[in-house]
Amino acid sequence: MKNFVKLIQQAYKEYFPTTVQKLVDNKIPFAFLSRNPTDKIIAAMNDLRAHKLNISSLIIISPPPVNLDINVIQLKEAVQIYPQPEYIFTADIIDSRLALKNFPASKVVTCNKTNPKSWYKAFMTHLDELQNVYESLIDEESNKTFCGYWLAHTSNQLGRVIHSKVEHYMCPGFIPEKDAIILEAGAYDGGTATILSEMGYRVYTFEMDKINFDRTSKVAEEKNFVVENMALGSYKHMLRYAATGKGNNSLKKSGEDLVEVITLDSYVRDKNLPCVDMIKLDVEGAELDILKGAKTTIARYKPILALSAYHKEEDFWTLMNFVKSIRPDYEFALRHCYENPEDEPMSFKNGVDHLINLGLEPDLRNWWECILFAR
């Protein structure tokens, strides 16, 4: 209880609008760091200054396109200046990582992240549910991950995220035995299914997007797993969608393409699967709906669950609560994973070589990718 109260106090103190108001009211100078200060970045800085924020310096790697009326400092020179800035603002994740590496004593704030007001409201209006989740987690790393996730989203500070180096969906203590049967929703390009198959598991994966399905089918033949061009849900029906070939597609009531939606329970029954040892879901916010169609399977076999818990704010409590309603004897852990830039598209189009040249680890540290594990 004490640690959860501390989290509430920190969230209140570091809430992004509170931080901005503090900087304005006290006229606290802060730095802005941009490895490539384009016209767009300069416009963002000018907007901050228009709101009476005191930007004392711009820390750069590449020179800005125009002369500026503030102090411009090269990064290698800025790290030698003391005292270091109390706050450093950035415009994207890579700049935030650069600031965190070079200015570990500074609070690094990403100014154009997803609206923190929505996350703060969700946090403060669901304290009872979130406390229940927090107290249900089995280890200290899960508790730290939980706190870091909510603090990062309400403060816009990437440094609050506690990243784990576990493989996606494969947390120690939540890994099935060899020859286990794994059902996966959200195949995308078959990357995770390939890894699981090569680990000796029998994998059945689902991909609703026909473009992704065609691509994954070729991989499935080579890597010996089953891929189905279907979507999973809480009941059987047909639904329209628009095929994109991307990893963030979702079911909608419009589009030129049609997909069959089935329940996981019906698939297990129709395929005469002897058991289900693990269910992995990464389906753009449809995780809870799929779980509703998997109640019998979960109740009967108590499979390990690896559930993406970051597509919706409420995923943090609704997923755990629903699983508990089926099997109260489940145990839970939480991990915030890296994305590998060689495996996933990077929003900022920065490759491995670029990250290494910046002195950063060649991985994508992000705000999302929080996985809820159950056993």
CATH code, domain with 90:
3.40.50
- Choosing from 61, 85, 116, the residue where a domain stops is 116
Residue 70 in contact with residue 55, Cβ under 8 Å? yes
Query: Which is more confidently placed, 207 or 253?
Result: 207
pLDDT digits (tens, 9 = 90+) for 161-190: 999 988 888 999 999 999 999 999 989 889
Residues 107 and 180 in one domain: no
Q: Would residue 336 count as lying in a domain?
A: yes
In 3-state terms, what secondary structure has residue 183? Answer: strand
Question: What does each C-alpha distance from 126 to 12, 131, 165, 317 come to in angstroms?
Answer: 14, 9, 29, 9
| CATH number of the domain residue 361 falls in | 3.40.50.150
Q: Is residue 173 part of a domain?
A: yes
With contact defined as beta carbons under 8 Å apart, do 33 and 98 qualify? yes
The SS3 assignment for 84 reads coil
Closest by CA to 213, choosing from 163, 158, 257, is 257
The pLDDT of residue 363? 82
CA 52 to chain centre: 33
pLDDT of residue 371: 96
Average pLDDT, the chain: 92
State whether 180 and 58 are in the same domain: no
Residues 199 and 88 in one domain: no
Is there a single domain that holds both residue 202 and residue 323?
Answer: yes
d(CA 271, CA 121): 44
Question: Is the bond leading into 83 cis (omega within 30 degrees of zero)?
Answer: yes
Residue 256 lies in a domain: yes
295 shares a domain with 203? yes
Dihedral angle over CA of 194, 200, 202, 203, nearest 10 = -20
Q: Same domain, yes or no, for 65 and 176?
A: no
pLDDT digit string, tens, across residues 9-59: 999 999 999 999 999 999 999 999 999 999 999 999 999 999 999 999 999
Question: Please, which pLDDT band fits residue 2 given cuts at 50, 70 and 90?
Answer: confident
Same domain, yes or no: 190 and 91: no
Output the pLDDT for position 365.
84
Q: Give per-residue pLDDT as tens, 337-357.
A: 987 554 555 444 557 788 888
76 and 194 part of one domain: no
Residue 348 falls inside a structural domain: yes
Is 125 a domain residue? no
Based on the fold, state whether residues 76 and 167 are members of the same structural domain.
Answer: no
Q: pLDDT > 70: what percent of the chain?
A: 95
110 with 171, same domain: the answer is: no
Using the predicted structure, report yes or no on whether residue 65 has a pLDDT greater than 90: no
* pLDDT band of 245, cuts 50, 70, 90: confident
Structural domain containing residue 50: 13-116
Asked whether residue 81 carries a pLDDT value surpassing 80, the answer given is yes
Q: What is the pTM of this model?
A: 0.93
Q: What is the pLDDT of residue 342?
A: 46
Chain mean position to CA 11: 19
Q: Which pLDDT value is given to residue 168?
A: 82
The total number of structural domains that make up the chain: 2
Is residue 77 domain-shared with residue 175, that is, in the same domain? Answer: no
Which residues, 6 or more positions from 352, have their beta carbon under 8 angstroms from its beta carbon?
341, 342, 362
Residue 357, domain member (yes or no): yes
| Dihedral, CA of residue 217, residue 220, residue 225 and residue 230, to nearest 10 | -20
Q: Tell me: the pLDDT tens digits for 82-111?
A: 999 999 999 999 999 999 999 999 999 998
Q: Is residue 146 part of a domain?
A: no
Residue 213 lies in a domain: yes
**What local confidence, expressed as pLDDT, does residue 253 receive?**
60
Q: Are residues 100 and 227 in the same domain?
A: no
Alpha carbon distance 19, 109 (integer Å): 9
The tens digit of pLDDT for each residue in 184-217 reads 998 988 999 999 999 999 999 999 999 999 999 9
